[in-house]
Amino acid sequence: MSKNSIFQLASYNIKRTMELDPAAKTKFEVLFIYPHIKALYHYRIAHHFWTRGHHLLARWISNRARHKTGIEIHPGAQIGKGLVIDHGMGVVIGETTIIGDDCQLYHGVTLGGRGSTDVKRHPTLEDGVYVGSGAKILGNITLGAHSKVGANAVVLEDVPAHATAVGLPARNIIKEGR
């Protein structure tokens, strides 16, 4: 997880978006048009207040960002640098979710909980994880570094590093030699 300023994080996110999205033509366009940039900016502000005990204000900021962008990020989530949420609409990131650096999510992804206790109940995504459109990652599970989840998969168990999870429920496909 990064301790950079909100502006350094935004700059890095814009750079990553330009690298990953061939439709992104200019940094200006990414900064002012791409909803995940706005959602992450508001998330960082809300997270600041959340970690200082100002939960109502944090949830209000988070709720406003959801209405503006269609991306719901709980202010209690922990998100590293370089998260790209392509298209974004319908993405939900739960309260105890942990997302490492340089991850990529597509529209309709849910990083959701299983259970209603006050313990870690949402997934952890290690660095470099890719999650396809409509995938549901549920519970206190870990997606290993540089793993991938196929579109519309439902993942209920850990995914090892460099593996790909597909299906309903998802099953792991592990390549030999990795």
The tens digit of pLDDT for each residue in 16-58 reads: 999 999 999 999 999 999 999 999 999 999 999 999 999 999 9
Catalytic residues: 107
Q: Which tens digits make up the pLDDT trace of 109-152?
A: 999 998 777 789 999 999 999 999 999 999 999 999 999 999 99
Q: How far apart are CA 43 and CA 14, in angstroms?
A: 16
Backbone angles phi, psi at 116, to 5 degrees: -130, 30
Q: How confident is the model at residue 170 (pLDDT cuts 50, 70, 90)?
A: confident
**Quick one: CA dihedral 27, 33, 34, 35, positive or negative?**
positive
